[in-house]
Amino acid sequence: MKIEKIRKDFPILNAREGGEPIIYFDNACQSLRPQSVIEAMDDYYRKYSACEGRSIHKFGEKVTRKCEESRKIIAKFIGAKKEEEIIFTRNTTEGINLVAKSLKLQKGDVIILSDKEHNSNLIPWQIKSKEENISLVISPSREDNTFDLEKFKLLMNEKVKLVSVVHTSNLDGVSNPIKEIIEIAHNYGAKVLVDGAQSASHQKINVAKLDVDFMAFSGHKMLGPSGTGFLYGKYDLLKKLNPFIVGGDTVEYSTYDKHQLLLPPKKFEAGLQDYAGIIGLAEAVKYLQKIGFKKIAKQEAVLNKFITKEIINLPGLKIIGPQDYNKRGGIVSFFVEELDTHQIAVMLDSTNNIMVRSGQFCVHSWFANRQIKNAVRVSLAFYNTLEEAQIFVENLKKIIKLN
Ligand SMILES: Cc1ncc(COP(=O)(O)O)c(C=O)c1O
């Protein structure tokens, strides 16, 4: 993979802060965007900025065609059987909330989550469990923070109606064995929602082969525009769900006292949408496909291996999750005894424009349970280089020595 060539596709990588290049290691929050995504959005605003499906003039028709194309491209990308199984959302959070608000459960039913869920896959279920008298059960990880299938099996029974788990954790980069989780859950008649926020830009996903019921994604974590996302749902299940936001674009007709909802996905996409975002997101998918997941995973592993090897034995430093870089995709999260993690992040940023994340990464529940204050997260992408990783390591070593 010619990284230097790839980097030319990302205009922001040429940005300078204080005259110096930037090192962007916060890809789990938002990835950077290639020129093709920016141009597709720019094109929409400059050349045909109308709405989809309403107006029959030339602009309206072009937007409709482009959005339909985007839905098809995204459906194919994740292996959905039909494009009607893709609902455009603003992000993963909205996709999960859509299911949480729409899925009919009964008092006494059980929902299982893992103990490493992002707040977006925890809070909606906590609220649902309180409002509808549903039990929320947490499946505990193994000692090394990987998913414990044996413990999960012990928690399963006929009362469990939904299992909602993250595919790749934004805390430590570990990917859960979702194929096995889905099979086990289905054996008990439970539905499965997978939070795909962190996996879609790092590994090939095939929702039909996985047989997953719902899977939520964020466009901005997969080279797409900010505030874009999509929810996959099996068509028959989507038909049965009631939308939780309704209004314009969700109905076939209305009278003063009734209305007829459209079929999925339209009944879930209320009001004007982010058309530039939807069109840009399809370009992001095309770009990911052009690079290919083998090359993406290989580069992330090279970088993760180097960083892990260099920092694992630094005094007081503890890597969160498995110590083997192979099990942590593109993420290295760590904390250093006696050192404030925000301070580390600020120092990295101020010395060499090294942008990392510090804090609890919206997985507060895990930190509270382990009584760990917070951590630094380095999240890598295929456009990051070994040279950047070296600069990061040198800086981190200096920071730790200084204290
Ligand atoms: C694993 C995981 N789930 C859900 C989310 C929420 O994504 P969004 O803010 O795009 O809705 C994130 C964001 O960091 C995440 O990492």
Q: What is the pLDDT of residues 22-61, one digit of tens each?
A: 999 999 999 999 999 999 999 999 999 999 988 889 999 9
The number of the ligand 1 atom at minimal distance from the alpha carbon of 92 is 11
Q: 311-325 burial, b for 16+ CB within 10 Å, e for fewer?
A: beebeebebbbbeeb
Start-end ranges of CATH 3.40.640.10 in the chain?
48-289
Class of domain 3-25+292-402: alpha beta
Pocket of ligand 1 (CB under 6 A): 28, 91-93, 118, 120-121, 166, 170, 195, 197-198, 218, 362
What is the pLDDT, as a whole number, of residue 401?
87
Which residues of the chain fall below pLDDT 50? none
DSSP code at position 203: S
What is the pLDDT, as a whole number, of residue 403?
66
Whether 362 sits among the annotated catalytic residues: the reply is yes
Q: Strand, helix or coil at 123?
A: helix
Query: Omega of the bond prior to 11 within 30 degrees of 0, cis?
Result: no
Please state whether beta strands 110-114 and 160-166 pair in parallel, antiparallel, or not at all (unpaired): parallel
Question: Helices (H) and strands (E) in the chain — how many of each?
Answer: 14, 17
Q: What sign for the dihedral angle of Cα 58, 59, 60, 62? A: positive
Which CATH code, of 2.40.10.10, 3.20.20.70, 1.20.950.20, 3.40.640.10, is assigned to 48-289? 3.40.640.10
What is the pLDDT, as a whole number, of residue 1?
73
Start-end ranges of CATH 3.90.1150.10 in the chain?
3-25+292-402
| Ligand 1 centroid distance, CA of 255 (Å) | 39
The number of the ligand 1 atom at minimal distance from the alpha carbon of 168 is 1
| Ligand 1 centroid distance, CA of 2 (Å) | 30
Distance CA 334, CA 358 (A): 10
Distance CA 162, CA 155 (A): 12
